[in-house]
Every structure is written in C-alpha cells, then in structure tokens.
Structure 1
Amino acid sequence: MVAIILPSFAARLVILLLFLFNGFHLGYGLSSDYYSKTCPNFEEVVTNAVKKAMGNDQTVPAALLRMHFHDCFIRGCDGSVLLRSSGNNTAEKDGPPNISLHAFYVIDHAKSAVEKLCPGVVSCADILALAARDAVSLSGGPRWEVPKGRKDGRISKAIDTRQLPAPTFNFSQLKQSFSQRGLSIQDLVALSGGHTLGFSHCSSFQNRIHNFNTLNDVDPSMNPTFANRLRNVCPLHNKVKNAGSTMDSTPTLFDNTYYKMALQGQSLFSSDQALLTDHKAKNLVIKFANSHDEFYQAFVKAMIKMSSLNGGQEVRLDCKVVN
C-alpha cells in the first residue's frame, strides 16, 4: 500500500475539522465521540476491513462511496440500502439504479468484526459512513472525523430508488434533487467529484454517444476524440455485458482529475456536463480543477452535511435484515 500524504492545506483542514467535531454535537444527535465509552476502538476495525478488501479489489472504494451516497439520498443515511429483499418486498439494493452496486460484503465483514468487539452497539449506517470515508482517504483523498450515532432503518423499497439523481439529469433536476436534501450548489459540485473514482457501464452514458438528438448523433459538448473512444467501447448495439469506461483517467486515485476532464469535454454523464451549464456551478468546477485543496475542503464539508441526514430507528445486529 502506497503511503498517502495530504497536501499541507488539506492536512490543516483535517486538523481543523477534528477540532471542530471533537465532542461537537450535530443535528440528529450525531457527534464525533458518540461511541467513546461504548465502543471506542471500532473505527480501526472498519478501516482494516476496507483496507483488506481494497487489497483484493481496486473497485471497492468507488463502490463504498456510491453505496453511501445512494443510502443517504433515500431516507437519510440509515443503512436501508444494505437490507436484502424478502417476501413480497423488493429492497433498495435490487432497484434499477442499484443493480450495479457491489462490495456489500465489506460492510458485512466490518459489522461482524465490530459485533465481536461491541455487541449490539454500532449501527450499520455508521459503519457504512466510516467505510465511505476510508474509501476516500485510502485512495489518496482527505480524511475527516465522521460524526456518529446514526440508527438503522427498517424500511427499504426498490421503488424509492427513483428518488436518486440519474446520470441523465440536467442542472435544474440536479439542483432540485440536492436542495430537497438541504444540499447547496457547492455541495452538488463537490459531491459530483466522487466520480473521480470508479467505472461506469455503457448504459449510463449511451444517450450522449448515440442518437443524442435529431441533429447530432453525439453530444456536441463532448470532446470528439473522447466521444469516438467511447463509441468504440460502447457500440450502438453493444452486447458486451460489462463494457464501459473509467470515470476519469485516474480511476483508483481520489483527486481533482474529474473536474479537469469535465472542462475538456471529457466527462461521461449528462449530469457531469450539466455542471458547466450553470454559471455558479461552472465557476466551482474551475476552482476545483485548479486546486486539490479547494476540492478536498468542499468535499469534506459536503460529505459531513450529507451524511448527517438520518431517520433510522434501531441498531441492526445483521446489516442485511431488520432485528
């Protein structure tokens, strides 16, 4: 594992956030020291589970970050995305936008280890929030103190995944989706930077490279060379199940390359390109493209804000089923 050294400003940011959240209670009953007496060492257990998984599968960080995002955007960060379908109920994880989610085993392994340490104390929602943080920091991004104390939800319905922002969204749709969850335009642009990690299947950006509209087969905002590469990988009648493209040119490194590529017309999704259609959002894209530190600062702030949404009721003993 390569040692990760944060830029000096980002390092100062982490220290500042540790100070700010040291015992500081947020809304929804969250605090940095929530488990200080009941399970003080569990974070190391979660980090070790993420590290081990990353050593075997380089797609794990992107998967965990996306999983946390998809969890928080339904009923708040309540671990409902982790529940399995049962009986007549189809759970969130089996909804269309979540079919490609994976690495649930990482959370299960972490939960099992934490249960041995502190039975019935730490929620699955908190473990997922911490795993997402570790996914970022272990990929070269910033590390922050995660406010804790989330409860796990008992409801998980596939139909609710329609609330997730789609890769085909325009800026107005994105802004509405994020603002409904108390997130600003800066939060929207910063959280979009999570697309610096991972891989996308052709279906998520097919609309931009084939039959874009009546005048253009390809989205004219795309860099032509980039578009041609994607068309070669994803032909119109593609039959290769796992065909697709990495999200940016450094898909295993959490950095600001995503923003640089967006300004060059080399973003994958319509929702990525949409950030450049709004004056304020575009200025933020430019700012983050020019500075790792500015991006890291905004990303950490947005992640803490997003992950503080919670509406759960219990601490599950098994993340896959309600108690």
Structure 2
Amino acid sequence: MKTVVLIGYFVLLSLITSSHSSLEYDYYRESCPQAQQIIKYTLRRIYDQNKSVAPAMLRLVFHDCFIKGCDASVLLDPTEVTGSEKTTPPNESLKGFEHIDLIKSELENACPGVVSCADLLVVAARESVVLVGGPFYPLHTGRKDGVHSYPDDSFNLPSPLDTHSISIHRFELRNFTEKETVTLLGAHSTGKIHCKFFEKRLYNFGGTNQPDPSMDPEFVELLRSMCNKSETHSQSPSASPSPSPLTTSKTRKEQAMNMDYEGPGSGFGTLYYRSLLQGRGILFVDQQMTAGENSSNWVRQYASDVSMFHKDFAQVMMKLSNYQVLTGSQGEVRQNCREVKASLW
C-alpha cells in the first residue's frame, strides 16, 4: 500500500514539473526549509479551534487564482488611491484574512522576507483540503506576490446563478475543461452557504413564484426550514463560486446551510455529487452540472467512485495553483500580505 501511495505521489509530481518551469519542488529548502511545516501546523492549530478556516482558505485561493492568477492580489487591502478585490460584491463574504495574517507572522518570525503570500495561500489551501478529508497533492513553490489588485476583474468570478453553458464558458476562458469544471466545483463539499445565494430557488425561481422544479421537494422544505422566508428580503446574490464558511445563525445575515448537511465524515465529494443526482444541489450552478451530457456523466462517475474524484481533484487543484503565477523578478515577497512592499500604489 505504501508503494502505491509513493508511486501516486511521484506521478503527481511529474504532472506539475512542466506546468511552470520557474517553480521548483521544495523551493525554500535552503532559505526557509521549515516553511511548509509552519503553514501546516499553524493552520491545524487554527482549525482545532475554528473549523471554518478550511473552507475559507479554499475560497480565498479560488478567488485569487481565478482573476489574474495566483498572485495573492485578493489579500490586498484598499488604499487611498486604489481599490481592492476583497471589498467588491463578489468577494464580500470572503473570510480568513486574519488567519493568513497569523500564518504569515509565524513565517516572518522564522524566515523574514522569504516566503511569499502567494505560496502561503496555495499551501494553506492544500492543507485545508486534507483537513476536511480530501486528497493531499504536491505543490511546487517559488511564486511571487503581485503588486496590484484588480477589483473590476472580480466581477468575472463564477456566480451561484450561472447556467451550465455560462459556467463552462467561464472556466474554459481559463483553460479548464468541462470535466475539470465539474471537478473543481467539488470544493463545495465543505463549508456553509448563505441562504441569500439560493433562496430564490426555494420561493420564486425565474419569477414563477414557485421553487426550482429541478429540486427535490423534500429538500426544498429542508432548506426553507433553514432559511425562514419571513426574515428574508430581496437581495441579489453576488458571485461566490465556493461556499461561505460562516456559522449558521438565527439572524438573516447568518442564515446558512451546511454543505455536508449529513454531518462530518460523509466524505469529501461523496455527498456533493450524490446530492446532485438526487436534485439536492444547494446552489443552482452546482445542480446545473447535471444539465449537460458530458458534465452529468462526470457527476455520476464521481458519485460512484470517490477515489477517482480525489485523484482528479488533486490534479485540478495543482493546475489551479499554478495558474498564471509570477516568478523571479515579476513580483515581490510581501512582509504583510495586506499591502505591497514597494511603493507602487
């Protein structure tokens, strides 16, 4: 068994060797050999106290990489002269910035000015996947941090209201196949999703004053019980390709549904894909993966073979983590992930 695991590990390494020649395996082996261990164990300490950190890291890495590549631009605060991705409507429910700050401070204490925020974020996301029962995947490092934020481009993020064709197109623009789109959306296996992102499916789908007919009626009632209509108000959901990690509360702002609503241990990916086949996808964009012939085939395969999903998810997360990275002199290494080091803003 150990031999099989080792073989799989080196196969994954071979897949990312040529993905970006400027990234390296164990890039910090001399400058900060303990870097990945610091990220891993600091994150685990946080997770022991706050389970929401794992889905928060997954959302952050997706919202970062999907815009201009994995450059940690989503972590930048606004300045007096420049806006910020994190303050735009599509990113308004992102969480976990304070956890990034804590991990970065640990890295700076050990190796000042060495480890980039971009590397921190992709490694933290990988460790988060492992913490919630997903697969480990190797990562090359050596990313540099960007010196600009791109608030206008945040509106190109996938929306929870995207149809099948729109969703596939958004990912194709970033060189992800239809299969890879279905695989990446499996990240919705963990976390919580705010009612505002799916409430129209429960009461007034497409202006019909009826629930979404693609939903299982019993599941509609379950979601309604979590999202009391009397406390809701009209609000257009912003783009949010990953579930919000906020906790469920009786207040309108905090009403949410667990993505793993059968409880912890239901399996990373198992419940998500099985639910889509049963008309129990919480988000419209998720349920739409059963609307296309090719995508629905992959949903069925992942629902019946979680090991296949884990293998494919590991590979697509490596691809996402290497998307349009900055290396060498293309960027910098921030000492504070919230602000650029150079005076360029």
1:258 to 1:308, Cα distance in 2 relative to 1, 3 A: same
Q: For the Cα contact (< 8 Å) 1:28–1:309, is it kept in 2?
A: no
The structural deviation recorded for 1:251 is 6.2
Range with bigger deviation, 233-242 or 156-165:
233-242
1:10 to 1:131, Cα distance in 2 relative to 1, 3 A: farther
Range with bigger deviation, 244-253 or 273-282:
244-253
Q: Secondary structure at the match of 2:170?
A: helix
Q: Deviations over 1:272-313 (max 9, x none)?
A: 011001111111011111111100011011111111013441
Whole-angstrom distance in 2 between the partners of 1:79 and 1:180: 20
Taking the TM superposition and a 5 Å limit, the aligned residue runs for 1:306-321 are 306-312=320-326, 313-321=331-339
Q: For the Cα contact (< 8 Å) 2:211–2:220, is it kept in 1?
A: yes
Whole-angstrom distance in 2 between the partners of 1:283 and 1:207: 27
Q: Which residue of 2 aligns with 1:3?
A: none
1:235 to 1:44, Cα distance in 2 relative to 1, 3 A: same
Taking the TM superposition and a 5 Å limit, the aligned residue runs for 1:213-292 are 213-215=206-208, 217-239=210-232, 240-250=252-262, 252=264, 254-292=268-306
**Letter aligned with residue 16 of structure 1:** F
Whole-angstrom distance in 1 between the partners of 2:34 and 2:129: 20
Q: Which residue of 1 aligns with 2:102?
A: 109
Q: Which residue of 1 aligns with 2:9?
A: 15
Q: Secondary structure at the match of 2:31?
A: coil
CA RMSD, 1 decimal: 2.1
1:261 to 1:13, Cα distance in 2 relative to 1, 3 A: farther
Q: For the Cα contact (< 8 Å) 2:163–2:285, is it kept in 1?
A: yes
Q: Deviations over 1:98-119 (max 9, x none)?
A: 1111111221111111122222
What count of residue pairs does the alignment treat as equivalent?
316
1:306 to 1:19, Cα distance in 2 relative to 1, 3 A: closer
The structural deviation recorded for 1:207 is 2.3
Whole-angstrom distance in 1 between the partners of 2:6 and 2:272: 24
2:145 is equivalent to residue 152 of structure 1: yes
The structural deviation recorded for 1:8 is 8.3
The structural deviation recorded for 1:94 is 1.1
Q: For the Cα contact (< 8 Å) 1:62–1:197, is it kept in 2?
A: yes
Q: Secondary structure at the match of 1:299?
A: helix
Whole-angstrom distance in 1 between the partners of 2:5 and 2:93: 34
Q: Secondary structure at the match of 2:193?
A: strand
Whole-angstrom distance in 2 between the partners of 1:93 and 1:147: 26
Q: For the Cα contact (< 8 Å) 2:9–2:138, is it kept in 1?
A: no
Would you identify which runs of 4 or more consecutive aligned residues in structure 1 move more than 6 Å? 7-10
The structural deviation recorded for 1:183 is 0.8
The structural deviation recorded for 1:121 is 1.5
1:160 to 1:9, Cα distance in 2 relative to 1, 3 A: farther
Q: Which residue of 2 aligns with 1:203?
A: 196
**Letter aligned with residue 271 of structure 2:** T
The structural deviation recorded for 1:252 is 5.0
Q: If the length of structure 2 is used for normalisation, what is the TM-score?
A: 0.86
Q: For the Cα contact (< 8 Å) 2:137–2:315, is it kept in 1?
A: no
Q: Deviations over 1:119-145 (max 9, x none)?
A: 212110100000000001122211111
2:48 is equivalent to residue 55 of structure 1: yes
2:155 is equivalent to residue 162 of structure 1: yes
Range with bigger deviation, 88-97 or 134-143:
88-97
1:147 to 1:247, Cα distance in 2 relative to 1, 3 A: same
2:134 is equivalent to residue 141 of structure 1: yes
Q: Secondary structure at the match of 1:200?
A: strand
Q: Secondary structure at the match of 2:206?
A: coil
- Give unmatched runs, 5+ long, in structure 2: 233-251
Q: For the Cα contact (< 8 Å) 1:82–1:93, is it kept in 2?
A: yes
- Give unmatched runs, 5+ long, in structure 1: 1-6
Whole-angstrom distance in 2 between the partners of 1:38 and 1:227: 54
Q: Secondary structure at the match of 1:241?
A: coil
1:123 to 1:252, Cα distance in 2 relative to 1, 3 A: farther
**Letter aligned with residue 179 of structure 1:** E
Q: Which residue of 1 aligns with 2:164?
A: 171
Q: For the Cα contact (< 8 Å) 1:198–1:247, is it kept in 2?
A: yes
Give the fraction of aligned pairs with identical amino acids, expressed as a percent.
Answer: 36
